[in-house]
Amino acid sequence: MSDTVRMVFFGAGGMGQMAHLKNYVVLPGVKVVALIEGRRKIADEVAKRYGIERVFYDLDSFDKAGIEFDGFVSAQQYRNMVNVVPPLLRYGKPLFTEKPLALSVETARSLAGEASANNTVHMVGYHKRSDPAMEFGKRLSDKWKTSGDYGKMKYIRVTMPAGDWVANGFDGMITSDDPYPAQTGEGNVDYWKDERLNTEYDVFVNYYIHQVNALRFLLGEDYAVKYADKSRVMFAAESDSGISAVVEMSPWTTGIDWQESYLVAFEKGWIRIELPAPLASNKPGKVTVYEDNGKGETPLTWSPTLPHVHAMKNQAQNFVNFIRGAAAVPCDSHEAIKDLETAKEYIGLLEL
């Protein structure tokens, strides 16, 4: 691999531009060498704005060009992963796609198998793992677990009220009236006789799968859903080692704010992580720490100063670091299967 990491973008839609492309083009030592986009007008305009020298309108023409590159980024809707992921993985290069891995558990397993078959890694875009606040909270939580200075981890509470997730993050997006290429995405799941539950699963996977994934990240182990309230406000879970957890889905809503939080409780202290709106640029989350180790010392409440780095940009850097061989990806496709299994487990409890 050359000193410069050479990236190819497959798709130039809203999330592709605003959450990903604008970050990769400013990372040091990274060059976006090609854009593949079937909508010709938007492809040309996006390439011009971001200085991408090579534009292709289909994968066949890209193949014939023989461009040397190191990784793919493809921000696609999850129902379309079944069409996009297999042909890209066959290049044997690392691939990044948005969350979730797919709609159904079965498709997710098939796509993860494609990554293994092609001896490559498929990173799934759970950007919350890359927020500086989440990274800091995870490191401190793991330190407490290892040292035992604050007792055992006892409980995690995740709260994710619906709100303004865009936060003006689509300002400056290039749009066009180009029609999307005709394609058939993944069909509806048929896990339950009650079609309303199949639809509810789809909605949950689209909106709350980040929190499902983040809970496992903070626990550091797998968990099972034990209870789901019929009002759809929360579910309760238990980790493999017996740690209790709750995920609250929109117990309230906000019009012009975003109030997502994670409370990681130990016997003698806690760590609270508050995350910004997903597309709020250059804004990290906040961490508050409470320490009361029971040794007669004065309890402390403190917060670290975190860099003003957007989680999406840090996520891009994490993927580049993997390509350079400097780090593991935060979440790969094999782990991402578990998120869909958990979603199915949760919706299944609503049927009882």
**The 5-10 sheet, strands edge to edge:** 54-56, 30-36, 5-10, 71-74, 95-98, 122-125
Residues of each domain in the chain carrying CATH 3.40.50.720: 5-126
pLDDT band of 1, cuts 50, 70, 90: low
pLDDT tens across 320-352, in order? 999 999 999 999 999 999 999 999 999 999 986
pLDDT tens across 169-184, in order? 888 899 988 888 878 8
CA quadruple 330, 35, 168, 26: dihedral sign: positive
pLDDT band of 282, cuts 50, 70, 90: confident
Query: Across residues 212-230, what is the average pLDDT?
Result: 98
Residues of each domain in the chain carrying CATH 3.30.360.10: 128-310+333-350
pLDDT tens across 236-253, in order? 999 999 999 999 999 999
Q: Which of 352, 349, 347 is nearest to 199 (CA)?
A: 347
Strands 244-253, 234-239: pairing is: antiparallel
The highest-confidence range among 186-195, 278-287, 289-298, by mean pLDDT, is 186-195
Instruction: Measure Cα distances from 98 to 18, 170, 291 in Å.
Output: 13, 17, 36
Query: Across residues 62-84, what is the average pLDDT?
Result: 96
Please tell me which residue, 168 or 262, carries the higher pLDDT value: 262
Report the pLDDT value the prediction gives residue 212, as an integer from 0 to 100: 98
Tell me the CATH number of domain 128-310+333-350, given options 1.10.10.10, 3.40.50.300, 1.20.1740.10, 3.30.360.10: 3.30.360.10
**pLDDT mean across residues, the chain:** 96
Fold of 5-126: Rossmann fold (3.40.50)
Query: Across residues 282-302, what is the average pLDDT?
Result: 90
Instruction: Measure Cα distances from 348 to 45, 198, 236, 246, 281 in Å.
Output: 45, 10, 14, 17, 37
pLDDT band of 213, cuts 50, 70, 90: very high
| CA-angle at 289, arms to 241 and 125, nearest 5° | 65
Backbone angles phi, psi at 293, to 5 degrees: -80, 0
Kindly tell me if the per-residue pLDDT of 65 is higher than 70: yes
